[in-house]
């Protein structure tokens, strides 16, 4: 019987050394080599099993002193949702004023993260 072994090569981003870590997936198990410290191992485990990112994009603003406001998710969300967030945000439009940190959308795409404004926008009529 042959077992399906999937191999990944990842560059660790925890510190500036940038170890190249090889990860072998054996069924449910994970085997890694090439890391210099345990933080590297934690990094690849997270990256392989549940990669997450902060999503960033911009949202249209009516009556603002700038036509868009930058936004982000207030915590990292599964990587596969990052593009979805940008797509969804492209259809949103809000009204100025906007405050730094204001929640624009709660629990975005069911990720448990909120979409928040990352700067303030003043209102101009």
Partner 1 sequence: MTRYDAVIIGGGPAGLSAALKLREKGFNPLVIESGDRIGGIPFQCIHPGFGLHYLGEDLTGTEFIQRIIDKVEDQGIEYRIRSHVVKIIYSKNRYPYKMIEAISPHGFLEVEAPIIIYTAGARERTLFEIGVTGRRLSGVFTAGEAQAYMDVYGILPGSRIVIIGSGDVGLIMARRFALEGAKVEAVIEMMPWPGGLTRNIVQCLMDYDIPLLLGRMAIRLEGKRRVEGVITIRVDEDLKPIPGSEEYIECDTVVVSAGLIPNVRLLEEMGLAMDPSTRGPIVDDYLESITHHGIFIAGNSLVVNDLVDYVVEQGESAAESASILLSEGVKPRSYVRIARGRNIRFAIPQYISCERDVVLYMRVQKPEYDVRICFEEISKEFRYPVVRPGEMIRLILRKDDLTFLKGLDRLSVEVRRI
- Per the CB < 8 A criterion, the answer to whether 111 and 78 are in contact is yes
- Min dist CB 75 to partner 1, Å, is 11
Give the contact letters, 12-41, x = binds to partner 1 (CB under 8 A), - = no.
Answer: -x-xxxx-----------------------
- Min dist CB 98 to partner 1, Å, is 11
**Count of residues interacting with partner 1 (CB under 8 A):** 30
Residues within window 77-116 making contact with partner 1, judged by CB under 8 A: 79, 82-83, 86-87, 90, 100-101
Buried (b) or exposed (e) across 24-34, using 16+ Cβ within 10 A? eeeeeeeebee
Compare residues 45 and 83 and give the one whose CB is closer to partner 1. 83
119-122 long-range CB contacts below 8 Å, 24 or more apart? 119/69, 119/70, 121/61, 121/64, 121/65, 121/66, 121/69, 121/96, 121/97, 122/64, 122/65, 122/96, 122/97
Q: Which residues bind partner 1 (CB under 8 A)?
A: 10-11, 13, 15-18, 53-54, 56-58, 60, 66-68, 70-72, 79, 82-83, 86-87, 90, 100-101, 118-120
């Amino acid at each position: 019987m042959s077992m399906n072994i999937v191999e990944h090569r990842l560059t660790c981003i925890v510190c500036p050394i940038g170890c190249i870590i090889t990860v072998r997936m054996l069924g449910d198990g994970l085997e890694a080599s090439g890391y210099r410290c345990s933080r590297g191992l934690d990094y690849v485990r997270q990256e392989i099993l549940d990669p997450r990112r902060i999503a960033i994009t911009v949202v249209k603003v009516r009556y603002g002193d700038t036509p868009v406001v930058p936004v982000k998710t207030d915590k990292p969300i599964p990587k596969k949702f990052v593009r979805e967030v940008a797509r969804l945000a492209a259809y949103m439009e809000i009204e100025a004023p906007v405050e730094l940190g204001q929640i624009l959308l709660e629990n975005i795409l069911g990720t448990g993260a909120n979409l928040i404004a990352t700067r303030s926008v003043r209102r101009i009529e």
